Structures are given as structure tokens and as C-alpha cells.
A = this chain, B = another copy of it.
Amino acid sequence: MDSTVFASGPDLAVSRARQPYDSWLHCIRGCGRRYSIYDVVYRCPECGGLLDVEHDLEVLRHRTGHEWRTLFDSRTRVVEQPYDSGVWSKKEWVSPKLEPENLASLGEGNTPLLRAKQLEEEAGLSRLWIKLCGNSHTGSFKDLGMTVLVSVVKQMISDGREIRAVVCASTGDTSAALGAYCAMAGIPAIVLLPRDKVSAAQMVQPMANGALVLALDTDFDGCMTIVKELAANPTIYLANSLNPLRIEGQKTVGIEIMQQLHWEVPDWIVIPAGNLGNVCALGKGLSMMKELGLIDRLPRLACAQAERANPLYLSYLNDFQEYHPVKARRTLASAIQIGDPVSYERAVNTLRQFDGVVEQASEDELANAAARADRTGFYCCPQTGAALAVLFKLVGRGEIEPADKVVVISTAHGLKFTPFKAGYHEGRLEDVDALHANRPVDLPPDFAAVEGAISRAVERLGM
């Protein structure tokens, strides 16, 4: 590991004892208790509240916002592993006291933020970007958080703690990330998936990475209940987003977006909303940047739910005065098919802080929004379709204004959802009127036949 590339900042490889930065777990209900991030604890043993990682902001303030920006910019696309990572290039903000030899990195982060010029014109927006978090090792934004969680577990094991395995319930993406990072770190992984409710592509990823894959005849929420029971055993470590460590990695997505926009804050960030860990993470990164002077204002957040799994939306309608878990119905947006989101409480805090809105998308809306973006060169997962559908709705009713600059977070690669894509273009999706369907033309291997098909398409498409 060559530390000379960090000449402009502190050496990230500095040992724990000499590391001035620090973080710890604290209870989000404000009861004042603190725990080590290397403790096996997911809720406050005093009051039962969720835990968050808190950083020593006083020490972080020894650098100005400008100095932090310069430091992070200097580390963009550093070529050394693990500092080529978009997460670990912000190590002081993520998990400062982790020993470098325990970092489990698969080159996460540094994903493209693409300007969506055709879509912004169609929507009548000033600027629209899509942050492609799915262009990653396991194909979703979950890599950002999992690198932190698995690295912390590696540190715990190296510190002598007995951890036999790491466990999660998943709608697909989390288990893929857990499988890959654990395989790389040499730590056993156990994943509980709702049988027949995740795509084959998502099911086979943790299998390939050697995880113990348990397919349960229930939904995500049912898997989650059992996982929580399992994690009562302190040698089985819990990887779900109830565990706040993943948020520490995921929050870097907001920092990356700001870097890519030259630290100019957009007016809105639109994000798919299921278990809500990603919403909290995004908010946390942005807050920390404002607190430490890297940005001077906050964007507004828009959460996109599937109409068939919309507990946050329903709660938003009564200004979060009431919250009722719902029984999530089957939706194409399977990664957000969650009726009782683990991070509801945290997410409401985030939405209040960011003047957030929540909107929902029907199956027809999310499938057509994804296809519309695909026609302009993207390849959107159904969750990103929900986010785009919500964007179009909010623009349509004037909540997002034409002059606004908007970032949409694409949470996974479309390649994880081939049956969704194929079903759409073959017109086989229930409750979806596939407005942008495009069918292949079957032909014999004959020049005249091919030329004829092209001529017909020329007339149709105006080539």
C-alpha cells in the first residue's frame, strides 16, 4: 500500500491508536448511552431504540469544509486498493479506527452520475442526472454499506471476538452483497430469502459466493422476524439495515454526488424507498457535509414507494402522525416489496429534516417510466422505474419546478431484472400497458428477408 498518494491528507493507513478520528454507536431516542461499533448490539439495551453511528465532529472540524472537499477530491479514483473505493476514500467519516488490513473492499462506489438530457427535455426540467449505483460489483448500491459491515466484522474477529457467521434477510440485493463481501473476507454468510419472491438472478448470487442460502416460504418481513431471533445469539452477526454500520458506507453516495456536481447542491434527490435504510443513509451523509461546511444547504428528498408496498406513503399522508405496517403485495419492484420497513423511525426524522415528500407509483407507472428511460440509453431496474415515475408525477403537479436541478438515485443494475425487462417488452406484465414495448423480429438467415425487415422499420421509425 503506497501512502505517498495521500500526501495531501492524513495517511489512512495510520493505526487505530494514532487515529485522531473516532465513532461510536448511540441510541437514536436520545437516552445518551454509547457503545463501541465493535460491540454486537443492534438496539439500545436500555430503552430498545435503534442505534446510529455517531462521529466525533469536534475532531472532524479541525479541517474546514474546503479542506475536506479538497482532500476527498484528491482521492477520487485513487488507483490503490482499497482506497480506489468510493467508500474508503472517506474513511475518516466512515469507520476511522478500522485497521487497514481488515478492510474488505471490492472496488465499490465511484459510480457514474449520468446527465439524462433526453429525459430532462421530455420532463421539462433544467437538469436531471441519474446516479448509477447498480454499476458495481454485485449490481446494487448495497455494496456501499456491506463493505463497511463486513470489514467491521473482520476487525471484530481479528480482535478475538467469536463470530461464526453473518446473517441477513433480503429481497435479493442485500444477500448478493453479503455473499460477495463475506466470500472475499473468508467469513461464513447465511441469507434468508422469501421463496419465489426474488429474481433468479438475485437468488443465485449468494449461492455462487458460497453462502448458506435458506429459501423460506414467506415474504421479506417473515424472513426478517426469524433473522432477528437468530441474531439474539451473539455469535451470529446481523447484517440487515437495522444494523447501523451499513448506513456509514451508504451515506457516501451523497458525498459522491456532490463531488460529481462540483459541490453544488441539487434542489431534489429522488430515491426508491423500501426498507428505508438508503433514505436515512443519504440524509446522514448530506447532513454531515452541511454540518462540516462542505455544502451550504440541503436538497429536498423525494421517496418513491411502490403502490403495492406503501406504508411510508400512507404515513406521509397523515404527516407521519400514524404508522401502520402493511402486508406488502407482490410488486415488480421486488427490492422495495416491504410492508414493515426496519428504518421507518429514522426515515421520518430524515424526511422532516429534508422537507421531504413521499409519492407512490403503480405497476404500470413504474414499468413504463423504466422503459422510457431505457429508450434514452439507460437500463433501469424496477425500483429506479418507481423513482422516475414519482419524478414525472412531482414535475407534473408542479412540486418539482422546471428550473430545479434533480438527481435520481438508481439503486440496482437492470441486469438483475431480466424477467421484468423481457416481460415488459413481450407485453406479459399484469396491470402494465407497455407503451414502449419493442419486440424482436424472427427471420430466416437470408439477406433479402433482413433487408425487407429493415425497410419496413425505416418506414415505421423514420430511419
Q: Chain A interface (Cβ within 8 Å of chain B)?
A: 2, 73-79, 81, 84, 106-107, 110-115, 118, 132, 135-139, 164-165, 180-181, 183-186, 188, 190, 192-193, 195, 200-201, 203-205, 207-218, 222-223, 226, 229-230, 236, 259-260, 262, 371, 374-379, 413-416, 418, 421-422, 424-425, 436, 438-447, 450-451, 453-454, 457-458, 461, 463
Contacts and interface: CB of A to CB of B under 8 A. Distances in A.
B374 A183 contact: yes
**Chain B CB within 10 Å — which of A205, A415, A463 has the most?**
A415
A382 B186 CA distance: 23
Contact of A209 (B211, B230, B374, B441): B374
A217 B444 contact: yes
Nearest to A439: B207
A204 B425 contact: yes
Contacts of A259: 79
A454 B208 contact: no
A413 B414 contact: no
A426 to B, nearest CB: 9
A66 B394 CA distance: 52
A76 B76 CA distance: 7
Given A84-B112, A138-B379, A441-B212, A454 B230 contact: yes
A461 B210 CA distance: 10
Nearest to A261: B79
A121 to B, nearest CB: 11
B106 A114 contact: yes
Q: How many copies does the complex hold?
A: 2
Given A106-B377, A450-B216, A445 B222 contact: yes
Contacts of A112: 81, 84, 106-107, 137
A463 B137 contact: no
Contacts of A215: 440-443
Q: Report the 4 A-B pairs with minimum CB-CB distance, sorted nearest first.
A: A107-B112, A184-B377, A218-B445, A415-B415
Contact of A440 (B2, B76, B213): B213
Contacts of A201: 201, 415, 418
A345 B412 CA distance: 40
A99 to B, nearest CB: 17
Q: Tell me what chain A mostly uses at the interface: helix, strand, loop, or mixed.
A: mixed
Given A183-B377, A205-B421, A208-B421, 7 more contacts: A106-B377, A164-B458, A184-B376, A210-B436, A222-B445, A413-B415, A415-B416
Nearest to A258: B79
Given A183-B374, A463-B164, A213 B438 contact: yes
Given A118-B186, A203-B440, A180 B377 contact: yes
A360 to B, nearest CB: 24
A184 B138 CA distance: 25
A210 B375 contact: yes
Contacts of A377: 106, 180-181, 183-185, 209
Contacts of A442: 195, 215, 217
Most buried by B among A81, A164, A188, A377: A377
Contact of A374 (B106, B210, B213): B210
B461 A212 contact: yes
A218 B377 CA distance: 28
Nearest to A419: B200
Contact of A418 (B180, B200, B226, B424): B200
Contacts of A138: 379
A414 B79 CA distance: 24
Contacts of A211: 438
Nearest to A424: B208
Contact of A451 (B81, B188, B230): B230
A260 B209 contact: no
Nearest to A89: B77
